[in-house]
Amino acid sequence: MSKDIGVDPRNKAGGIAGDQHEFVSITVAEQLFGIPVLQVQDVLGPQRITRIPLAPPEVAGSLNLRGRIVTAIDLRTRLRLPPLPEGQNGMSVVVDHGGELYSVMVDAVGEVLSLDTGMAERNPATLDPIWRDVSGGIFRLDKTLLIVLDVARVLDFSARAEAA
């Protein structure tokens, strides 16, 4: 099973019927996202985060995960959303990217969703360009849209730096 849902341009459905992709569902600003389950290493509650001087704004800091230093990325800041309201605690999803661990700070973590690859679609043209920049495609669910989070793109701040 491939980690990337990449939609084949020759096939609007994007895959072979019966193929399944599993995602850890997360919520940010009431929007449902999915992180490929094979990239998720851990799910954490609120953590003590140490600021890193001169880091990009998306880098909330670092945290200690069982003796390992992990860079914490604030997904709300990355998506140019306001911070979580005072008094609300978010969660962190620890992902592996290139052998390094990163903590992606989100509002909430839901269940693991197993979705048919044939339901995958390209990003709609109406999706905010900032969100499109971190999306690997979408799935239309019963009452909502699941945006597949492309972890590599979330961690790539060069596009943001060029736009600034």
What are the pLDDT digits (tens) for 59-91?
999 999 999 999 999 999 999 999 988 888 899
Considering the segment(s) 20-152 as one domain, its CATH architecture is: Beta Barrel (2.40)
Show the 3-state SS of the chain: CCCCCCCCCCCCCCCCCCCEEEEEEEEECCEEEEEEHHHEEEEECCCCCECCCCCCCCEEEEEEECCEEEEEEEHHHHCCCCCCCCCCCCEEEEEEECCEEEEEEECEEEEEEEEEHHHEECCCCCCCHHHHHCEEEEEECCCCEEEEECHHHHCCCHHHHHHC
What are the pLDDT digits (tens) for 23-67?
999 999 999 999 999 999 999 998 899 999 999 999 999 999 999
**What pairing do the DSSP bridges indicate for beta strands 20-28 and 108-116?**
antiparallel
User: What's the pLDDT score for residue 9?
Assistant: 33
**Average pLDDT estimate for 143-155:** 92
Higher pLDDT, 119 or 157: 119
**The tokens of 101 are what?**
């661990």
Show the 3-state SS of 85-128: CCCCCCEEEEEEECCEEEEEEECEEEEEEEEEHHHEECCCCCCC
Domain ranges across the chain = 20-152
* Bridge partner list, 74: 105
Average model confidence (pLDDT) across the chain = 85
CB-CB contact of 13 with 107 (8 Å): no
pLDDT at 13 over 60: no
**What length is written for the chain?**
164
Question: What is the distance between the alpha carbons of residues 10 and 60, in angstroms, rounded to a whole number?
Answer: 40
